[in-house]
Each structure stands twice: as structure tokens, then as C-alpha cells.
Structure 1
């Protein structure tokens, strides 16, 4: 049996479905839809040199890679590769071929430091370490059953605070961009990011197929966005995910992040979603505490691996 690596064919529905299927089987804690995969490939900033690769065995997609430069980081020369192979197709060469193709692509565009998320399981970690990667920070995937009736009661906003949805900003989402940019810069990471291009944010985030503007909840203080909980949904599977929850620096420690996320979760349950997913850096104790309060449980963990290129 021969394994080959090539670029994803975004115009081939079967190819994209195969990519989504592999990702769902290997990493079921994140929402993967064909529309979102194609959108990311089409709308990621050109400076990211983004590629979606597949490993094909006898005509079947068995492995995937998403590869890009950290173009929005103030530090140049950083590349990211995330490799996932179908759990029943490992140890057949697909992962190794994808890593080689990804590293070659990134090195060819000037990357000198590579970052990869790896599931915190012995076989996955051994795979990374044998290829010269060293462990860095870790993160958790969390899951909440929305059918169990465990959500805290809905809270009324405190005086001076108003809850709105992202849909209310359809005519001018720039205030949400500005809040997102501030919170992203404070998010724990070993790759700093800066959101500075509003038009890019519109294409990559605001128009993303997974974004649910009705369930994305925003807390306004004096008419300005102060906190938000960004919701992704996949109606076909009944799954909801919190892609980001953040608060402007001047309004932290007031419970606004918890307020927006609680309203969004209640809205998701009312809309018929049955499972809520999210993820947190293992060092982000405030957000982990909030999610524990909601009833989320850790269902898997991953480790960020780093490799310096000579």
C-alpha cells in the first residue's frame, strides 16, 4: 500500500469530506466542517503561506496537516504545523510524510522555529520527540453535556451593563474586532499574536462559517463592548463550541466573562445544541475555574512541541 502527500483539493467535496472525517476521528473535541475547512484555506492571509495537506492511501484520505507561518506575530520566523492521522491508520508512514512536507514548506518560507500541538498520549509524544521536537506548554479540551440541566441559572446584568449578540453589530462589527484584538494579545501562548488588520479579521473571523452571531454574546458597558463569548456551532451534529471568551482590561474581575458565557450557553441549549466544547491553556487558571463552575470536564489534553531549525 502506497501513501502519498498532496494539497487538499478544495473543489472536490469528497476530498474535503475526507479531511473533515480524519480530523473528527483524530480530534473530536474541535468542530470540523467541510465549509469551515474550505473557508480557512481560501481566506487565511497570504502572508501565512497557509496550506492544507492530505496523506492519501489507495485513494483514501488517512492523514491531514494544516501548515502556516505565524504572520500575525511580532516575532518573525515562526511556523506552525498540526498533523493528525486517522487512529486506525497510524504507523503506516502517513504522519512522517506529512511532517516532512510541512517542515519543508515552512523552512522554504523562512521559518526557523516550528510549533506543533500534540495529543498528550505516549505514542503521539514519542512521535514528536523522535523528530527533534521538545515539549513546551500544555492545554486542555473540555466538554459539557447541555442536556443534563447542570447550567447555573441565568444571571441579570449588573447596573450599567447590557447583554447583546454579535448579530446586533452586523452593520459595524469594528468594536468587536477591537475587543477581540485586545483579548488575543493577552491570551496565554508561546506564539504572540497581534490583530491589526480589520479587513483580514472580517474575512477570517466575522465571515467564518462556524461563527454563530446570534449565540455570540457581548457585554456592553456604557454602550461599548467590554466582554464577549464567541460561539461556533455545527447544527448537523448539535455541537456548540466557545472559540474565545475575553474581557477588556479595564473591566476585568467584574464577572463579565462569566455573564456572557452563561447567556450564550443557555441560548445554545434553548436552540437545541446538546454538547458544548471549549479549550483552555493549562496555565489559564481563571478561565479553567469559570469552566469548572459551568460544569465542564476535561476530556483530553495536548502539549505544544517546539523544534528549532538549524
Structure 2
């Protein structure tokens, strides 16, 4: 009946499947598959010192944690600790043991401030507060019924623009990297991110098993991508918007909405039945776009932080 915490073994199918299962049960609004779990562990940037931890009880994986340093931030010493426990295996001490193991790992690396996402529910928030974490910003998960819901009609691109897919940039993804880096740098967050390592982006993002290049829509002007909506799929019926953004010089023209609508229509035609996305609660423009599509908020997370002294 004892709970132990150890590192995930990415070459052991039972470990990988158990990790993905717990993540899905605890956070069904985010796509996670065994392949994406393995990719996240084996392809993480060395500077992140990433660890995937599992809490095991009587041979069953009942909790998970993703732990590491925010190596893409210009501010050093920031770490992340995201813990999820099987909803039917709570109150066995798995969450607390995962947090303690994660904090010891990050403290040894010199981390001074830790961030975690916690579902906006009384028990989850109380758990974070008991461990010394204090609430900051919040973010919403949103769901869209692709199978039976009504999408806005498709629109033609404005003059001088065309709709393409990320697959059209497979031979040279660097323009997509540059657009992603610009859009990511303007995303609301407690941690600033600077995407500067093209090879790491190729490894971690472009070649990620969830990214569907054929369903990722891109608005192109003069051969250059200026807006996009990145599509994640689980290989079954679930679709997720991983990132939607526009180059600064082209904002305010509805291009992100155009790309996302194109991607959603093609995802529905491909047989995907549910679409998920997430937005910072303060990102009014993107929340308005998603409401226009018919998305509805299905859950909220609250970012919590703890100072290590």
C-alpha cells in the first residue's frame, strides 16, 4: 500500500501508457498520447533538466509530474512543477510525494522560483496553498463540438494573401519557426519565453507526434507565413489548437481567425469530433475569437508560484 515516486521509464510500455492515462483522466482537456509522452521525455532540451515522474502504488501508476527549468526564459532560476493524480486515487499521498521530489530536484539545480498550474477547484487550490504556492493568473480550457456544432462559413483570404498548410513548409520550416517565435514572445505568461534555438524547436515542436502539419493552417503573403493555427491531434477523434498567432505587422486584419477557421473545417472533414483550446483569462481578443467559433469554457486553471529560499 506504500506509494513510491520514481522516474518514468520511456522504454517500458506500461509506464508510458499509465502516464498518459493519468494525464487524460486528470486533465481531459489537453491531448496526451503514449507517443507524445515518450517524445516529451526523450527529446527535452538538456538545459531544461526535464524529468517525468510517476507515483506508483501496488504496481499501478496513480500520479504524474512534469518537472524542469524554464530554459527558454531570459530570467534564470525559474522552474515548473505540474502534478496530476488519478481522480479515483486521491488522498494516498501521491501528490505530496511528487511535489517534494520535484522541488528537491529543482532546488539542487539552483531554481529560486517554481510555477505550477492547478485546476480552479477548492481541493486543488487548497493543496497548492498547503505546499506554499500562491495564486497568480488564470487560464481557461475551451471545448467545441466539431461533430454536431456549427462552424462559421469559410471565407476567402484577402487580396495578396493565400491559405496553405504547414506541410507546405516541410522542406524548410525556418519561416514557421520565426513566426512561432514572434507570436510566442507576445503570449501572456508569468514566464517570458524567447524561442531562439531553431534545432531545439525542430526537435521539440515541429517533429512532435501531436502536431498535424496537414491540418495546421497558414496564411501566406508574398511567400512568407504571417499567421497560423497549429493543430494537434491524438490520432482518434480529438483535435487541439496548440498555438494561433499572427506576425506583429499583420495583426488586426482577421488573419488568425481565417487560419483557425480553415483548420477547424478541415479537421471536421477529417473526422475529428471534439476541438479543445486554451487561453489566458486576460487574453480578451483570443477569447472573443474562440467564442465566435462556438467554443465554451469547460474548465479553468490557476497559475501558482512558490519562492524557494
TM-score w.r.t. length of structure 2: 0.99
Flag structure 1 segments of 5+ consecutive residues without an equivalent.
Answer: none
* Partner Cα distance (1:267, 1:14) in 2: 34
Q: Give how far 1:235 is off.
A: 1.8
Q: Secondary structure at the match of 1:89?
A: coil
- Could you tell me which residue of structure 1 aligns to residue 306 of structure 2? 307
Structure 2 residue 243 is the aligned partner of structure 1 residue 241: no
Q: Deviations over 1:255-296 (max 9, x none)?
A: 000000000000000000000000000000000000000000
* Partner Cα distance (1:14, 1:92) in 2: 21
Alignment of 1:1-310 (within 5 A): 1-236=1-236, 238-310=237-309
Q: Give how far 1:222 is off.
A: 1.7
Flag structure 2 segments of 5+ consecutive residues without an equivalent.
Answer: none
Which region of structure 1 is more displaced relative to structure 2, 107-116 or 148-157? 148-157
Q: Give how far 1:221 is off.
A: 1.4
RMSD of aligned residue pairs (Cα, Å): 0.5
Structure 1 moving runs of 4+ over 6 Å: none
* Partner Cα distance (1:52, 1:149) in 2: 37
Aligned residues: 309
Q: Give how far 1:149 is off.
A: 3.8
Q: Secondary structure at the match of 1:192?
A: coil
* Partner Cα distance (2:203, 2:134) in 1: 34
Q: Deviations over 1:39-87 (max 9, x none)?
A: 0111110000000000000000000000010001000000001000001
Q: Deviations over 1:109-132 (max 9, x none)?
A: 010000000000000000000111
* Partner Cα distance (1:51, 1:147) in 2: 37
* Partner Cα distance (1:209, 1:49) in 2: 21
* Partner Cα distance (1:111, 1:20) in 2: 27
Is the 1:235–1:273 contact (alpha carbons within 8 Å) kept by the matching residues of 2?
A: no
